[in-house]
Structure 1
Amino acid sequence: MTIPADEPRAAATPYGTPEAPRVAVRGEAHLEVEPEIARIGISVAARGKDRRTALEDLTRRNAAVLELVTSYGEAVERLETGHFSLTPELTARGRGERVRTYHGAVRLTAELADFTALGELTTRLADLELTRVDGPWWALRPGSPVHRKARQQAVREAVQRAREYAEALGTSLAALVELADIGAENAEPYGRAPGRMRAMAAPGAAGEAAAPLALEPERQHVRAQVNARFTMVPPQL
């Protein structure tokens, strides 16, 4: 049906009408669950009076770290090198650009889902020469079903809240008008700031292997919120 150009259109009624009153609510969900993965940062350092020595030491130590991490097989889901540097340090005195020493560094990130292996690996890494370990950072996987569970719980909570408002008026819900997702995410994606584990072992240091580090996984907080609008059957006030 075509509306004549000179016929006024009905005004929008975003807040409902007496014949179709609306109720707007917010549904929220908060889940506390165990983490699914843990990430650690690994920094390998080297220092030498000439470039070649520093580079060779850094290469050797980096290879030792890679060999150790990859030896854990499927327990390590991801291993990435994020940064490499070899920087000359100039002398503070004297004329000209005289190099005093060279500093080398490689930074890696490892991601594990086996937390038993995580404790052993962090201890063995920290026992390597000039190697620093940071972390762990606990997290859920991006596609974790926990996120879906939180969103669904938030929707159910919104429907329940709207029904309670309608029941307080002696009526019931008629239809859903709008459902807006305003967030379903970790409050702290990588957990709180972890303590730093550091080891700067002397070159060639030997001895018994350190006992595996006991790590307690940090529980993750997953929140979801939705806004929902419903129409109600007109109540008899």
Structure 2
Amino acid sequence: MISVRGEAVLEADAEIAVLTATVQSKDHDRRRALDDLVARNRACLELIKSYGDTLEKVETGAVTITPVLKYRRREGDVHYYQGTVWIRITVVDFAVLGELITRLADGERISVDGPQWALRRDSEVYAEAARQAVGQAVERARGYAQALGCRLTGLVELADEGLNDHGGATLFSAQMASGAAMAGESEPEPIALEAAKQMVVATVKARFTTSQPEL
């Protein structure tokens, strides 16, 4: 029996980019903070959805309205109310990405984090990496068998050690406490972005039976 490990490392272009937009409001009155958050969130979503098919998904992650106390270590009066909405945006057309980021960041009380470059979960790159890893395991086992003067006769076990996706990290982060409104007189200049290459690593373990070696 011969036991081997096969590995494949592939480099591929990113297929999607993920942004997170955080919309906030702040006011001493709870209702005004809530109304302001609703208005800002609506304006932000309208801007995002205006990009149509260049986006794959737009998702609201969470909504919070939080009273912030004057004295944190003990009960006290409410200093102000803070509202927050998290919006996750999956972009498939990278040509609009720089423009979308800067237009979002130009909005008042909006934070933008991203992009996170990635492959889709069902990307063919993962399947190809797995095939190449298996092929390397077979070739390695065959090489050992030839060195021993025998041949492979069967497969006992093939174990997938998993696929590792080493994607690009966040390249841009902007937070605007105040700024021009989204419908302001002029649009900000799009930021130039270069998509990070994606490294996919696939590893397998395999065991083969062989004929008797000629030693």
CA distance in 2, matches of 1:115, 1:169: 53
C-alpha contact 2:66 2:82 (8 A) present in aligned 1: yes
Other-structure match for 2:18: 39
Tell me how far 1:158 sits from its aligned partner.
Answer: 0.4
C-alpha contact 1:132 1:197 (8 A) present in aligned 2: yes
C-alpha contact 1:147 1:185 (8 A) present in aligned 2: no
Task: Rate the CA distance shift 1:194–1:143 in 2: closer, same or farther, 3 A.
Answer: same
Give the counterpart letter for 1:106 in structure 2: V
Tell me how far 1:204 sits from its aligned partner.
Answer: 5.4
C-alpha contact 2:16 2:120 (8 A) present in aligned 1: yes
The answer as to 2:208 corresponding to 1:230 is: yes
Within-5 A mapping of 1:198-209: 198-202=175-179, 206-209=184-187
Tell me how far 1:137 sits from its aligned partner.
Answer: 0.8
Other-structure match for 1:100: 79
Within-5 A mapping of 1:51-70: 51-70=30-49
Which ranges in structure 2 are unaligned for 5 or more consecutive residues? none
Task: Rate the CA distance shift 1:169–1:96 in 2: closer, same or farther, 3 A.
Answer: closer
Within-5 A mapping of 1:85-234: 85-92=64-71, 97-186=76-165, 188=166, 191-202=168-179, 206-234=184-212
CA distance in 1, matches of 2:36, 2:42: 10
Tell me how far 1:203 sits from its aligned partner.
Answer: 6.6
> RMSD of aligned C-alpha atoms?
2.0
Equivalenced residue count is: 213
Query: Which protein shows a greater Rg?
Result: 1
CA distance in 2, matches of 1:149, 1:220: 14
Task: Rate the CA distance shift 1:196–1:204 in 2: closer, same or farther, 3 A.
Answer: closer
Tell me how far 1:236 sits from its aligned partner.
Answer: 1.7
CA distance in 1, matches of 2:142, 2:3: 11
Runs of 4+ with >3 A deviation? 202-207
CA distance in 2, matches of 1:141, 1:157: 25
Tell me how far 1:111 sits from its aligned partner.
Answer: 0.5
CA distance in 2, matches of 1:96, 1:159: 68
CA distance in 2, matches of 1:96, 1:191: 44
CA distance in 2, matches of 1:57, 1:33: 43
Which ranges in structure 1 are unaligned for 5 or more consecutive residues? 1-21
Give the counterpart letter for 2:173 in structure 1: R
TM-score scaled to structure 2, two decimals?
A: 0.91
Task: Rate the CA distance shift 1:96–1:161 in 2: closer, same or farther, 3 A.
Answer: closer
C-alpha contact 1:88 1:103 (8 A) present in aligned 2: yes
Tell me how far 1:197 sits from its aligned partner.
Answer: 2.0
TM-score scaled to structure 1, two decimals?
A: 0.83
Tell me how far 1:96 sits from its aligned partner.
Answer: 7.7
Other-structure match for 2:56: 77
